[in-house]
Amino acid sequence: MNANINKIHLILELRKLGIINTDILSVFEDIPREKFIDKELSYKAYHNRALPISCSQTISQPGVVAMMTQILEPKKNYKVLEIGTGSGYQTAVLSKLFRIVYTIERYKLLFQNAKNVLAKLKVKNIVFYHGDGLKGWPAKFLFDRIIITALAKEMPKYLIDQLSDGGVMVLPLVYKSEQFITRVTKIKNNVKIKKYWRVRFVPLLPGIK
């Protein structure tokens, strides 16, 4: 009961933050965020807050997940690549709005946990990979959309290469000493960049664990 009330509050908060895409709002209503965090934290599942998960990482703030998803402009026929599976919550959100989600996580434990949770929730259109997302997807794919959920110090070149013409990538990026949500649109072989609001993300790191 309590969780439902908290969920309604969260949806209202997302609307206030500027989430006008009703498909996105209903996805936030459908996905049980409490399944992606420790039991002891479940009372905070619908607070608009980032929370700790294993391997000293975080499950992103729902408001940030929703805004980044809205900037991606999802479509049911699109293929999306996510770097930083983490808890798998953003992955679940994407799975409801895209045809197929490819997701990469550098920690074996997080990769395994996210795979298990999403199998329990019977989500079928996700391909998981334990690897270094900075190197891109291991096969020569082109993606309509790419989302990075960890902080990039510079524009990740391999990922821009895997973006289709007209494709969009959303990521937190460092500008001087601050981080901002950034949208990169690839047009022919150029990129157009739009900077949004300030955020705090865990870093995008090379190698696997």
Find the binder of ligand SAH among 41, 100, 174, 205 (CB under 6 A): 205
Find the binder of ligand SAH among 42, 58, 164, 185 (CB under 6 A): 58
* Cross-strand bridge partners of residue 79: 100
Nearer to ligand SAH by Cβ, of 34 and 188: the residue is: 34
Shortest CA distance to 162 belongs to which of 134, 127, 131, 129?
A: 134
On whether the CB atoms of residues 136 and 158 are closer than 8 A, the answer is yes
How is residue 207 written in tokens? 């190698």
How is residue 101 written in tokens? 């989600």
Nearer to ligand SAH by Cβ, of 169 and 190: the residue is: 169
Per-residue CA distances from 199 to 11, 54, 68 (Å): 20, 21, 11
Find the binder of ligand SAH among 86, 136, 167, 172 (CB under 6 A): 86
Find the binder of ligand SAH among 89, 98, 128, 143 (CB under 6 A): 89
Find the binder of ligand SAH among 84, 136, 167, 172 (CB under 6 A): 84
Nearer to ligand SAH by Cβ, of 41 and 202: the residue is: 202
On whether the CB atoms of residues 114 and 105 are closer than 8 A, the answer is yes
Nearer to ligand SAH by Cβ, of 90 and 162: the residue is: 90
Find the binder of ligand SAH among 110, 117, 126, 163 (CB under 6 A): 110
Our finding on whether 83 is near ligand SAH (CB under 6 A) is: yes
Our finding on whether 144 is near ligand SAH (CB under 6 A) is: no
| CA distance linking residue 93 with residue 30, whole number of Å | 9
Chain centre to alpha carbon of residue 75: 15
CA neighbours closer than 13 Å in the CB half-sphere of residue 145: 25
Segment interacting with ligand SAH, rule: CB under 6 A, options 73-81, 87-95, 165-173, 190-198: 87-95
Segment interacting with ligand SAH, rule: CB under 6 A, options 71-79, 128-136, 163-171, 174-182: 128-136
CA neighbours closer than 13 Å in the CB half-sphere of residue 98: 28
On whether the CB atoms of residues 90 and 61 are closer than 8 A, the answer is no
Q: Is 87 a catalytic residue?
A: no
DSSP 5: H
Given the rule CB under 6 A, which residues bind ligand SAH?
Answer: 57-60, 83-84, 86-87, 89-90, 104-107, 110, 132-134, 149-150, 202, 204-206
* Catalytic residue ranges: 60
